[in-house]
Structure 1
Amino acid sequence: MSQNQLNRQSSISEEDLARLSKEAEQEATPSSLRIVWNEFKADRPALFALVIMVIFILFVMIASLFINQGQAMATNIMDSYDKPFTQFFLGTDQGGRSIAKQLILGSRNSIGIAIGLTIISSTFGICYGLIAGYFGGIVDNVMMRIYDFMLMLPITLFIIVLVTIIPNYNVVTLTLILSSFYWMGTSRLIRARTLSESKKDYVAASKTSGTSTFKIIFREIMPNISSLIIVDTMLSFAENIGVETGLSYLGFGLPTNTPSLGTMIANANDPSSITEYWWTWLLAAVEIIILTLSISYIGQVIRRATDASQRLGDD
């Protein structure tokens, strides 16, 4: 056998070994996405909830692009209380407005507000709690006194006053107003966990080695409490859908002629609508229940996947 053939066989063997070692490493330490997917496959209700959420959100966001809000909310008395599956697919309300179009536009507004509110309030609350819990002492005392002051405020009343006095407010304005108050629960929870984490050996070792405060807080402590952050964020998202819906139900949510799930549920205030015109409010109520339950299932699976990923990382 020639020297070239021996070299070729040697190189092939080395390539095969490298490939096999890489495959073995991937099997031994699966990626985070694979761990999440395995958890979803093991929990069929959560997988079903995930599929429903993805399909529903995509449908709402795409379908709303083809609906003119002004025309959808225009009053047409001649079509008042049209029953479902007749002239209109899901019927109409007292003003002759399509329930199907209101559901699509209202879902887009409610979900958009909930996503924006969750991102802003959770980000601020997580950072606030991490800083207060890590530094402790005077910094923690000052930050917690600010928290206590905010907690004493009648939040719902303040939101109603702000919504009333701000002219021409919209979805973005309402999201910012709500974000100013709904960060406190997250900050308190994260602070309590950070106080415990900051006393552990890996934090002391990082301080001794000269690691910067920013890296310790956001690259070491925060990943170790990621499961708590994920659960709190998912629960906050479900809760925030209810926040906008509740305000709109009371008449202090989105402006008039802006579709909202809360406004649709408010149709049930009319006794005749509860039984006779059930389609004007029941569909929106069922949608909110399905959304909140789906978010709860998905959050539980992601929490379990995060815990499993952390255990593999520790091993």
Structure 2
Amino acid sequence: MDKETLNTPNINAVKTIEDNSEQNINGKKPQKSKSPFQLALRRFLKNKLAVIGVFTLIVIIAGSLSAPLLTDHSPTKSNLLMVEHPPSDEHLLGTDQSGRDNWSRLLYGSRISLIVGFSAMFFTLIIGIILGSISGYYGGKIDNIIMRFTDLILALPFLVLALTIMAIVDDISVSLFVTIIALVSWPNLTRIIRGSFLSLREQEFVLGAKAIGASDMRIIFRHMIPNIMGLIVVNATLMVAVMIIVESGLSFIGMGIPQPQPTWGNMLTEALSVRILTQHWYAWIPPGLCILITVLAINFIGDGLRDAFDPKSNQR
């Protein structure tokens, strides 16, 4: 080794020493880059309404799960000696026209309403993702067939289609109700997923995956769906609120889950009587408020997720 080599300083080593010295002087360590999920979570937690919505929904879910601890009365058992009894220590929200405890029905009814909302969302999500991804990824004849069928379903009014199916069925259970709602709710989500896939399939990372021989299913589920996960989560959240409103509306007009099984929607049927509407507020105002608060909380969460995954959305 010659003298020139020995006397030439190692530039990288000098730079490293300088950087370390600067860090020691400032007393700060270099910050690690945050993942997209961490950034989205940070933006979500800064949204006060979204955080309030989360806590509100947690309280509602906790109340529904704790129903046996919060009441001793059966939500379905009638007591003809306590018909339309006003609120008291024994019956916090009074009783209905059949002598059933309104407080008990409110707590147990929240279970059914939430189960319908989340279950219908889940099945709608599965149908929408499968059909939308296949249609958008493959295109051509497959896309035409799926989209024409989707247009056919969309051409029929949602409530009319749901009411028609329910009118054919004699006895509607919770599982059957969820199935019917999911079968008529998937077209809008399918179109959204399809539109996203049409733009993603021309991206370089998808073309690169095809070039190295990745299977279609791997490309769809490993590369494309994760890129629209924010869109899926936001739509899924808002869909829960829609499903709860649909259940409440159909149960209110007598086409939903039948009595005596309690839901917030069929509890509102008490308000069909003018006498109950004007004189017995405790029979219909509590379930109405529960529906309103739950839907608002879920919408706040959905808006917070939308702004978290797409920061530019709140600037439009």
Common topology (TM > 0.5): yes
Shift of residue 66, structure 1, vs aligned partner: 8.0
- Residue in structure 2 matching 1:59, options 45, 60, 63: 63
In structure 1, what residue type is equivalent to 2:62?
A: L
Structure 2: distance between partners of 1:154 and 1:300:
26
Change (3 A) 1:113 1:64: farther
Structure 2: distance between partners of 1:147 and 1:64:
43
| Residue aligning to 1:259 | 262
Change (3 A) 1:25 1:102: farther
TM score, norm. by length of structure 1: 0.81
| Residue aligning to 2:84 | 81
Q: Which moved more, 1:271-280 or 1:111-120?
A: 271-280
Change (3 A) 1:255 1:201: same
Indicate whether 1:166 and 2:169 are aligned. yes
User: In 1, are the aligned partners of 2:67 and 2:104 still within 8 Å (CA)?
Assistant: no
Shift of residue 117, structure 1, vs aligned partner: 0.5
Indicate whether 1:125 and 2:132 are aligned. no
Q: Which moved more, 1:292-301 or 1:102-111?
A: 292-301
Indicate whether 1:136 and 2:161 are aligned. no
Structure 2: distance between partners of 1:279 and 1:39:
40
Q: Which moved more, 1:72-81 or 1:170-179?
A: 72-81
- Give the gaps of 5 or more residues in structure 2: 1-28, 312-316
In structure 2, the residue corresponding to 1:72 is in which secondary structure? coil
In structure 2, the residue corresponding to 1:206 is in which secondary structure? helix
In structure 2, what residue type is equivalent to 1:230?
A: V
Structure 1: distance between partners of 2:31 and 2:277:
57
| Residue aligning to 2:34 | 29
- Residue in structure 2 matching 1:230, options 215, 229, 233: 233
| Residue aligning to 1:177 | 180
| Residue aligning to 2:20 | none
- Residue in structure 1 matching 2:295, options 260, 267, 292: 292
RMSD between superposed Cα atoms in Å: 2.7
TM score, norm. by length of structure 2: 0.81
Structure 2: distance between partners of 1:78 and 1:85:
15
| Residue aligning to 1:98 | 101
In structure 2, what residue type is equivalent to 1:38?
A: R
Shift of residue 220, structure 1, vs aligned partner: 1.7
| Residue aligning to 2:308 | 305
Structure 1: distance between partners of 2:45 and 2:227:
25
Shift of residue 60, structure 1, vs aligned partner: 0.3
User: In 1, are the aligned partners of 2:116 and 2:174 still within 8 Å (CA)?
Assistant: yes
Indicate whether 1:46 and 2:50 are aligned. yes
Structure 1: distance between partners of 2:40 and 2:141:
40
Structure 1: distance between partners of 2:31 and 2:216:
33
- Give the gaps of 5 or more residues in structure 1: 1-23, 309-315
In structure 2, what residue type is equivalent to 1:305?
A: A
Structure 2: distance between partners of 1:142 and 1:155:
21
Structure 1: distance between partners of 2:308 and 2:229:
11
Identity %: 30
User: In 2, are the aligned partners of 1:36 and 1:301 still within 8 Å (CA)?
Assistant: no
Structure 1: distance between partners of 2:297 and 2:116:
18
Structure 1: distance between partners of 2:140 and 2:72:
55
Shift of residue 59, structure 1, vs aligned partner: 2.1
User: In 1, are the aligned partners of 2:75 and 2:262 still within 8 Å (CA)?
Assistant: no
Change (3 A) 1:27 1:92: farther
User: In 2, are the aligned partners of 1:64 and 1:108 still within 8 Å (CA)?
Assistant: no
In structure 1, what residue type is equivalent to 2:173?
A: N
Change (3 A) 1:256 1:197: same
After TM superposition, the runs of 4+ consecutive aligned structure 1 residues lying more than 6 A away are 65-69
Shift of residue 201, structure 1, vs aligned partner: 2.6
Structure 2: distance between partners of 1:178 and 1:163:
10
Q: Which moved more, 1:138-147 or 1:148-157?
A: 148-157
Structure 1: distance between partners of 2:180 and 2:288:
25
Shift of residue 156, structure 1, vs aligned partner: 3.1
Structure 2: distance between partners of 1:157 and 1:30:
45
Structure 1: distance between partners of 2:166 and 2:276:
28
